A and B are shown apart, each in its own frame.
Chain A
Amino acid sequence: MLQTIVTQLKEIIAHKLDVNLKIDEIDENISLFEDGLGLDSIAIVDLIVSIEKEFSLSIPDTELNADLFRSLTILAGFIDRKLQEKGN
């Protein structure tokens, strides 16, 4: 499940964000910010909005923090937990 979510995130980044990254260029283990994948502030916001739409989630401000964006793997783990909470 986690790897599926990572793949979905890569597809969002490559196809829905204006960041000039191809899927095979996206390292799931590095930061999403400027020191890693290089997503700028506008791209980060678009990513959050796309995640909420793609996974039918609502992510409150209080749950958004820099640690979640240290890698796609970490972000996918967060999404997985949110989906399980929603399922429960």
Chain B
Amino acid sequence: MFNDILINNAGAPETGKNTLSDGRFQVSYRELPAIFDRLDEFFPAFAGPGTGCLACCCQNSLPEAVLLLWLLARGRDFLLLPRTGTKRQPGIALPPLPGFCRRRLGIDPSAPGLTLAAPASYIQARENPAFRDVPYPLAGRGCVFLRTSGSTAEPKLALHAAKNLAANAGNCRDRFGLTAKDRVIIPVPIYHMYGLGAGFLPAIMAGASVSLLESTNIITYLDREKAFLPNVAFLTPVLCAMFLKARKGDYLFRLTVTAGDRITPSLYENYEQRFGPLVNLYGSTELGAIATSILADPLKTRSQGALLPLPGVATRFGSGAVSGDTAELFCRHESGFFTYVDGQGQECGGLKDGWFQTQDLGRSLTDNRFQVNGRTGYSMNRTGLLVAFLEVESVMEQGIPEVDQVAVTAREEEGQRGKLLVACCLLRPGADLGPADIRSRCFQIMMRHQVPDEVQVVKGLPRLANGKLDRQAIARLVNEKS
């Protein structure tokens, strides 16, 4: 179906001239078929014989986006990954490739002499040393694996049939009213479901002009905005807050979509006042786009978080109320993922009787709307990525020799990245390391969004009778101190 969409975009007068760009390269929909023909000729050489699953490294450069579209158009199976590593965080180990991925395809978008029409000028393929020729679900039927977000340990892979991704994207195209007249800017990563499934693919399906931005800093964004003049933007609450803080002038978008974190009512309302209509999207790597705010609703209703499910989505709340009328949210999506898969291609759960346990808390509202209030368990979203407390604790305990045990909790105060993350550290006997030094070490051993905002060195950690950390007591202590 992606092949048909792209062929149609190439031939239709209202879309053929529209372009995909990244600030360095630009290609029209009309030019894409010829580039795909070059990739068809090149593919057997760079990806080896046979089919099988490829790992495709893709951030927001046009060459990578074109390769991604080609893989979808040709019905290939692939795992979507970010480009590897950053030089500032050399201590972070990259998750290994799953064993069923034969090769990793990578592109260096800064390669000199890169020409889109010459794939050899920019595509590299590396063998996966851990490859095992094992079966995986939906093999050979055009499937896409997405890593669940935010984790540096071996994350679960959410397996999507390409046709479901297309249906999911069609929902977004329709809900956002995307057309060939739109100029869509996407500064969020397209290797994540939000950037890919809610932004990039819907824009492609609409035949809109698209500008991809690799870096989410305000400066490169402003440079691109002046050149591209977007009327639709896919942002995050952090980006919205940066717009408000750093921009002196206003800019009217036809539509801004935000997702990834909770957006506070004041941020929602202030953003919309200066930059135009804002829609908040709720979704997940597993189900894609689940629900959005509706522009026809009053601003107050939208800013308070009221969401309407997309077509094909059903929601229900768990039977045990957490507090008041808040309970855990379960969703069912006709076009959601197929299953989780582990590194060996084995199914490892996902849905129960067709329902997905979101691990988000929310409550039902009137008119088929609902509201999401936070996470269950010990995790939180920060700058659009999931932070699991257990993972941060484990990385600190393993990565900082002076630290014996860590308990991570959230402070209710909001910081620039979301609620404040606090790490309470018990040092090894005889160790001497202060909170500032512990925090400094964290920058080297974990992703930025996982770095605790505050570190405390404690003399003891409260525990339950069974020996486990008493997280409620720890949270109370941390919030009482503030």
Contacts and interface: CB of A to CB of B under 8 A. Distances in A.
B108 to A, nearest CB: 13
B84 to A, nearest CB: 14
Contacts of B215: 33-34, 41
B245 interface: yes
Interface size grouping (class) on chain B: 20 to 34
Interface residues of A, number: 23
A33 B218 CA distance: 11
A20 B249 contact: no
A68 interface: yes
Contact of B218 (A20, A41, A58, A60): A41
A48 B219 CA distance: 10
A2 interface: no
Nearest to B244: A45
Contact of A58 (B219, B242, B248, B440): B248
A64 B219 contact: yes
A68 B239 CA distance: 20
A50 B157 CA distance: 42
Interface in B291-322: none
Contacts of B245: 45, 49
Contact of B238 (A39, A41, A59, A64): A41
Contact of A61 (B220, B222, B448): B222
A44 B221 CA distance: 12
Nearest to B187: A41
Interface in A55-73: 58-62, 64-66, 68-69
Given A41-B238, A41-B242, A58-B248, A33 B222 contact: no
B440 A49 contact: no
A48 B215 CA distance: 17
A69 B222 CA distance: 13
B223 A65 contact: yes
Interface string B229-252: 000000000110010011111000
A56 to B, nearest CB: 15
B245 to A, nearest CB: 5
B417 interface: yes
A41 B216 CA distance: 6
B201 to A, nearest CB: 24
A60 to B, nearest CB: 5
A11 to B, nearest CB: 17
Q: Return the 10 tightest CB-CB contacts between A and B, nearest first.
A: A41-B217, A20-B443, A38-B88, A45-B246, A45-B242, A41-B216, A44-B217, A61-B249, A42-B416, A60-B248
10 contacts: A33-B217, A41-B218, A42-B383, A42-B417, A44-B218, A44-B219, A48-B218, A61-B249, A62-B226, A66-B219
